[in-house]
Amino acid sequence: MVYKTYYESPVGKLFIASDGENVIGLCIEGQKYYLDKIEKQAIEEDNLKIFDKTRNWLDRYFKQEKPEISELSLMPEGNAFRQCVWKLLCEIPYGETITYGDLAKKVAEKLTKPSMSAQAVGNAVGHNPISIIIPCHRVVGKNGSLTGYAGGIDKKIKLLEIENVNIKNFFVPKI
């Protein structure tokens, strides 16, 4: 059984999904790769303990209190490669960023491969099913471009600002 609830945040309405014990999804309304199939099948249940913990975590995050990811039980669904990428995303400290290329090097090291495509890593980052908590917004282009956030570049900027990242060092690429 999959359950759902919603959370009003400074970056928009968030959809949160759970299997009853773990967070399995969190996305910003209207984002690319929105979990609409899960949302349609899920039963609305606002009173689950995991939802209370997640709302509390989000409240503290948006107040810039830096809650630990480990406070929540997360169960994102994805293959071993994506799981590896998402786990490494959780190691990026608040207020810091990493490039897709540097993240790709870390993934290659973790998987004991000589190298890894930054594009493949970027695809896994973009398909992160638990936005904000698994901090995919902390990944940037090597030239300082703020690319690749499924929730939208404006949301990525807002999340980085919440974390006190100096975004003057970055730019939004022209399309």
Active site residues: 136
The position carrying tokens 């998402």 is 86
d(CA 53, CA 126): 25
Radius of gyration for the chain, computed over Cα atoms and rounded to the nearest angstrom = 16
89 forms bridges with which residues in the sheet? none
Query: Which pair of structure tokens corresponds to residue 24?
Result: 């399995």
For residue 74, what is the DSSP state? B
CB 103 within 8 A of CB 64: no
